[in-house]
Structure 1
Amino acid sequence: MYQIKNFIQNIVSYNYCSNPSNYINIGYGIDNNYARCCASSIASFCLNNPTKNFNFHIMAKKLSTNNKDRFKQLAQLYSININIYKINIDTLANLPTQIHLPIATYFRFILPLVLDNIDKLFYIDADIICLKNADELFNTNLNDNIIGAVPDLPWMNTKRNKALNLRNHIYFNAGMLIINIAKWNNFNTFAKILQAIQNEPQKFRYLDQDALNLILTNHIQYLDTKFNCIDINSIEQKNIILLHFAAHPKPWNIAFSISKLCNKFNKNLYQYYENKTPWKNFPLEQPKNYKEMKKYSHILYQKQKYFSSLKWYLKYILNKN
């Protein structure tokens, strides 16, 4: 059994909730790049569920002092608790990562170990926004299952079940999980997932999400798409409770507003909530790696912005080599 001391280097708590009872515990796993969207996600839960007492838990790698200060301001602003856990990643250092799937994606596995004094945790990807009252989510019954999760897109279900050799399984998206802490830890979920990834890293195209599907098959309470909506065309938009900006570019990137992902419904959603945080008026982010540069160049080309497209394509070439 892994020990908490193996992972946590430091804990910073900003406790401003005036009613320390009936907490709803929500967890995130981020690095410094995802601080702004994590804050926007937190603000969206607070604004749409104003009567709830929230305890937010942020597993973080290399969070800047400025961002910690902003999280403190956020906790004060909404009278909530925000706990920031600085992670020692040595235990995870040998696990595979990708440009858009950094080491922080594994932090969701650690949360149940650290928070073993609570019954239920809502794990939320930082690029998820709460659009309305979430009582239905918070009151979900897991019916003796380890987690609650939402099925992924149909093509993902077909493709990943075949790759993982899973039968009679519905492949779920791990961006939102309801976790029964005791059952998760008793099943030794963390150790089983790490072992699976270390044994066959090439098998797990979607890393932690693939591993979760493999290890927890038959232990899942499946939930409605409205609790982790990836495709807004697959559901009545008025019913969406949690909207997941899973694809790239993200709404805080300069490429989003001119990409095919942007539409009338979601164009200003993220920005509305970011403007309710200490990250208000932050400039949109430019492409940070060669994949983002290539994608932005392609989007600009489609918009007939040929000179700008060429400029970003040259940056892509230089950064790829």
Structure 2
Amino acid sequence: MTQFNRQKLPLYEWMKAAPEIDTLSLNELTLPGTHNAGCDLEADYSNVFMRNWFACQDVSFYSQLNRGARALDVRLVYNPHANGLEKFRFVHDKTWSSRTLADLVRDIKAFLERSFNEFIILDFHKIEHGAEPFDFKYFNELMKAQLGEHIIPTANRHLTLGQLKDVSRLQRVLVTAPANRHLDRTVFGAQITHQWAGSDFLKVVGDTLEQIAQPQHTRLQAFIARVLAEPREKSAPWSLSAAIYDAGGPVRMLDQLDTWFDPDNSDWAEKCSIINFDFIKNSNLVYFCYQANIKKAFEKSRGYSSYILRHSNSDKQ
């Protein structure tokens, strides 16, 4: 994709700009995802001195979506002292963001009002207790009441984007969460698997002195290469966490990610389901996901055409 074409691509509706991908399901797409989407630099934090350490995005949910994010990785904690949607706050490693479920619901609705041909995976990756146990029943009720008309029923999760559009003009959000008996499983899909180096980073990549001495970027690159070398099921979305931390918090490594995932350099983007990363604001990964999905749609169409041709020739014999 040329620089000129990138400038022409509207990030707030990049899926609409690629009608070819209507033949793909959410399980088959490569989606740009925002890691810890509820913790951004515009929010306030319960630990005011550690704001830069806990914020993984520059901007709010709405701005993340406008910049092309189509998978939001969020973590919730329960605040029994608030009311309604504000009982549910976003959190990063025990530090609370000022963002609440009310902000998320409002921003998703506002975004879809303008960009109704875009699809979003809402990944409630972690749900934590606060001063009292998390109220899953109330959370379930609020999600259905406040966002229900936009939620894709789990029974339809395997449909292509084109089929989902035929089913409903409003249902554009696939919601996933950890299992709980109070969550309606026709609304909440199974928790998304995250491939994350985490605290076992060195063990995953290797534990020799030479490897330990390597820069974090190099070790993350090796980890991603190892994950993508393994075949992946396409029956459900999965998330690759392309993020690292140092003593100052989340590391801005957009140049490295742009180099690694550029289709001119590798096939990494097309091998992914969700690329979950920090600081989407100035990233080129949305463009790379767009390109990867165009290629996936073309290859799926070519495979289907070959299948039809083979069976047509067989019938003539």
TM-score by length of 2: 0.27
The structure whose RCO (Cα within 8 Å, separation 6+) is larger is 2
